[in-house]
Amino acid sequence: MTILLGLESSCDDTAAAVVRHVEGQAPEILSSVVAGQAELHAAFGGVVPEIAARAHAEKMDHCVEQALAEAGLALRDCDAVAVTAGPGLIGGVLSGVMCAKGLALGAGLPLVGVNHLAGHALTPRLTDMVAFPYLMLLVSGGHCQFLLVRCATDFTRLGGTIDDAPGEAFDKTARLLGLSQPGGPAVEAAAQSADPSAVNFPRPLLDRPGMDMSFSGLKTALLRERDAVVTLHGGLPEQRRADLCAGFQQAVRDVLVEKSRRAIAAYLDLAPADPVFAVAGGVAANGAIREGLQALCAGTGTRFLAPPLRLCTDNAAMIAWAGIERLRLGLTDGMDLAARPRWPLDTAAAPQLGSGKRGAKA
Ligand code: KG4
Ligand code: ZN
């Protein structure tokens, strides 16, 4: 039996969790505490790194105490302390790493540094005990990439966005149309009562081979369409706004579905015994996008897996779990564990031109 305490502080969620795993059985999340900071950053229209770092330093102790209390355990009952060591906003990552070092040193426990993206990518094994290799689409406000997960330490990046992440595009769209933040749910709700073909948006990079994507042109197109509507109507009528939302959402969906089709084909070439396509990240909550991906999987004999939203978005249970996977492989870190603002999962892949300009949140 292995029990890990996990810590996460790479963006604007301070989180601590305890996960227990008995070999051959389903892992158990004994507790998962997430303290968000949305109210601290709301006035600034984005995450302010310095404010985030201070808040992490203040909140982490409480989150750890609460996570242990909810699990009914003491720190010495844990086998190790896992912590996000990057990528992310450096002040936040540092405060998590320092806290984890203190806890590990004080309790005489091993320390395990975890890549935040590996936490997301390994979540299907925490929730559904999925076997390697599987395909993952990580699609959030800061990231968009296809990962071939071969084992707990081997991730191949098949492709991803070369500019904005889709969540970022949803958020900007909401801002341009006067809708609330976060933009994804607001745009999805507005799109419900509209015709997705009323406004035709571009589908960037669909005409090119490969699995790379681009979403920054979509917001420029949206701005143009919005201005045309405003000029025509002297304002933005409710129905026209809904049509813009529906058209935009449809374009994102079409790009994600077509690129996923190619990624699944590349993955199926490996002839996995039980093919699985998993999604993670806030955008995976979008009903239309989910439906499109689900239908695509059904047509290719691939199991579609979407972990519950609380485990798709930033949390520490995924860090504790990734820590368990590393510990099992004998991978621990010393007190020299470094906090890394940038830390690509696939070091062999070509450097990305840009992904998630909004920040380092993954
Ligand atoms: O994974 P997440 O919580 O944090 C980041 O890593 O960014 O994802 C948040 C992003 C935001 O950009 C938000 O607008 C988007 O996910 N999002 C959605 C939906 N719910 C959240 N995008 C589209 N449709 C949704 N229903
Ligand atoms: Zn994340």
Reading across the β-sheet that carries 80-86, which strands appear in turn?
28-36, 13-21, 2-8, 80-86, 111-115
Cβ of 362 less than 6 Å from ligand 1: yes
Same domain? 78 vs 159: no
Q: Is residue 341 part of a domain?
A: no
Instruction: Summarize the confidence of residues 3-9 as an average pLDDT.
Output: 98
Cβ of 283 less than 6 Å from ligand 1: yes
Ligand 2 mean position to 173 CA, how many Å? 21
Q: Residue 361 pLDDT more than 60? A: no
Same domain? 263 vs 169: yes
Q: Which domain holds residue 288?
A: 134-309
With the most atoms of ligand 1 within 8 angstroms of its CB, the residue from 170, 180, 181 to mutate is 170
Residue-wise pLDDT for 16-29, tens only, equals: 999 999 999 999 99
Residue-wise pLDDT for 170-229, tens only, equals: 999 999 999 988 899 999 999 998 999 999 999 988 888 999 999 999 989 999 999 999
Same domain? 79 vs 148: no
Residue-wise pLDDT for 93-107, tens only, equals: 999 999 999 999 999
Same domain? 262 vs 139: yes
Same domain? 181 vs 123: no
Tally the residues of the chain: 362
With the most atoms of ligand 1 within 8 angstroms of its CB, the residue from 8, 37, 140 to mutate is 140
Residue-level pLDDT at 48: 84
Ligand 1 mean position to 278 CA, how many Å? 16
Ligand nearest to the CA of 8: 2
Cβ of 315 less than 6 Å from ligand 1: no
Q: Is residue 20 part of a domain?
A: yes
Residue-level pLDDT at 165: 93
Same domain? 150 vs 246: yes
Q: Is residue 338 part of a domain?
A: no
Q: Residue 246 pLDDT more than 50? A: yes
Cβ of 281 less than 6 Å from ligand 1: yes
Same domain? 121 vs 145: no
Instruction: Summarize the confidence of residues 235-241 as an average pLDDT.
Output: 95
- Identify residue 308 by its one-letter amino acid code: P
Give how many domains the chain has, as a whole number. Answer: 2
Q: Is residue 239 part of a domain?
A: yes
Q: Is residue 207 part of a domain?
A: yes
Q: Is residue 173 part of a domain?
A: yes
Cβ of 141 less than 6 Å from ligand 1: yes
Q: Residue 354 pLDDT more than 70? A: no
Residue-wise pLDDT for 44-86, tens only, equals: 767 888 888 898 889 999 999 999 999 999 999 999 999 999 9
Q: Is residue 284 part of a domain?
A: yes
Ligand 1 mean position to 308 CA, how many Å? 14
Residues in CB range of 338: below 8 A, 6 or more apart: 85, 97
Residue-level pLDDT at 362: 53
Same domain? 249 vs 227: yes
* 97 φ/ψ angles, rounded to the nearest 5 degrees: -65, -40
Q: Which long-range contacts (CB under 8 A, 24 or more apart) does 334-338 make?
A: 334/111, 335/101, 335/105, 335/111, 337/83, 337/85, 337/97, 337/101, 337/111, 337/113, 338/85, 338/97
Q: Is the peptide bond before 237 cis (omega within 30 degrees of 0)?
A: no
Rounded Cα distance between 171 and 184, Å, is: 6
Same domain? 194 vs 99: no
Rounded Cα distance between 104 and 18, Å, is: 14
Q: Residue 286 pLDDT more than 70? A: yes
Q: Residue 355 pLDDT more than 50? A: no
Cβ of 167 less than 6 Å from ligand 1: yes
Look up the CATH number of the domain holding residue 155: 3.30.420.40
Ligand nearest to the CA of 142: 1
Q: Residue 220 to residues 177, 216, 227: CA-CA distances in angstroms?
A: 13, 7, 11
Q: What is the model's pTM? A: 0.91
Same domain? 258 vs 111: no
Residue 350: pLDDT band (50, 70, 90) is: low
Q: Is residue 357 part of a domain?
A: no
Same domain? 117 vs 34: yes
| Residue 80 burial (C-beta neighbours within 10 Å; 0-12, 13-18, 19+) | buried
Ligand 2 mean position to 234 CA, how many Å? 41
Cβ of 285 less than 6 Å from ligand 1: yes
Q: At what angle do helices 317-328 and 116-128 cross, to 10 degrees?
A: 90
Cβ of 292 less than 6 Å from ligand 1: no
Ligand 2 mean position to 361 CA, how many Å? 6
Ligand 2 mean position to 280 CA, how many Å? 9
How many of the other CB atoms lie within 10 Å of CB of 73? 17
Q: Residue 48 to residues 35, 37, 43, 67, 119: CA-CA distances in angstroms?
A: 16, 10, 10, 26, 23
Same domain? 163 vs 191: yes
Q: Which residue CA neighbors atom 16 of ligand 1 most closely?
A: 282
Residue-wise pLDDT for 109-137, tens only, equals: 999 999 999 999 999 999 999 999 999 99
The mean predicted confidence, pLDDT, of the chain is: 93
